[in-house]
Chains A and B, each alone.
Chain A
Amino acid sequence: DQQVKQNSPSLSVQEGRISILNCDYTNSMFDYFLWYKKYPAEGPTFLISISSIKDKNEDGRFTVFLNKSAKHLSLHIVPSQPGDSAVYFCAASAANFGNEKLTFGTGTRLTIIP
């Protein structure tokens, strides 16, 4: 049972344009969502997060939007740069004192075309 889904395995975007990565979840207990970026031969790197009490969080070129009713979140990168080419994972957690387990999606490979 895949509780966090990233339905687009890959995405190609022209440099300078907006990249939009999508993520859906099924478990309504999830109340905190994170995006991680992964380069080959490296571990995932935390990018941005959002609590379920918010619908938007912005950090520089990265913005995450959360639609709780649709159980959907998206990551916007604008403008896209060649260094953004990586695999992006959406992850979710549920408030559970003492165990901050992350449930990951399967990832979207983003390629920025110069």
Chain B
Amino acid sequence: ETGVTQSPTHLIKTRGQQVTLRCSSQSGHNTVSWYQQALGQGPQFIFQYYREEENGRGNFPPRFSGLQFPNYSSELNVNALELDDSALYLCASSLQGARYGYTFGSGTRLTVV
């Protein structure tokens, strides 16, 4: 059973650019959630995808968008990058309706300069 894999592991972008982060969910999981973890903070919920539809969103602007594919993998896209977008981006997969059992990936460290 494979876990959640994220790519790339590290990324440096310039303010104003766009970035795409990728996530492959754990085998058998049909729901993907994305979290942003700023330095010294806990992970903050960005949004969740189930059956290729957005299924809940946190307090993030529309320039944060996502996709889920039929194989349940997912992408997080961020447009018009700002310095404050520098953070660790975590992907978590789960079975829809499960109140536990989120499996997190190791994250993508994004630095915006």
Q: Which residues does chain B contribute within 8 Å of A4, judged by CB atoms?
A: 42
> In the bound complex, do residue A106 and residue B40 qualify as a contact, i.e. CB atoms below 8 Å apart?
yes
- CB of A49 within 8 Å of the partner chain: yes
Residues of B within 8 A of A43 (CB): 4, 90, 92, 104-107
Residues 88-114 of chain A, each 1 if its beta carbon lies under 8 Å from chain B, else 0:
010101001111111111110000000
Please give the number of chain A residues whose Cβ is less than 8 angstroms from any Cβ of chain B in the complex: 28
Report the interface size for chain B: residues with CB under 8 A from the other chain.
30
Asked if A41 CB lies within 8 Å of chain B CBs, one says: yes
The reply on B72 being an interface residue by CB < 8 A is no
Q: Whole-angstrom distance from the CB of A91 to the nearest CB of chain B?
A: 8
Which residues of chain B are within 8 angstroms of A62 by Cβ–Cβ distance?
none
CB distance from B19 to the nearest CB of A (A): 19
Residues on B with C-beta less than 8 A from A101 are 33, 45, 48, 56, 58
List the B residue with the shortest CB-CB distance to A6.
B42
In angstroms, how far is the closest chain B Cβ from the Cβ of A5?
10
* A46 engages B102 (CB within 8 Å): yes
- What 5 pairs between A and B have smallest CB-CB spacing? A43-B104, A104-B42, A99-B56, A101-B45, A49-B100
Chain A residues, Cβ within 8 Å of B50:
98
- A93 CA to B48 CA in the complex, in Å? 14
Chain B contacts of A103 at CB under 8 A? Answer: 45
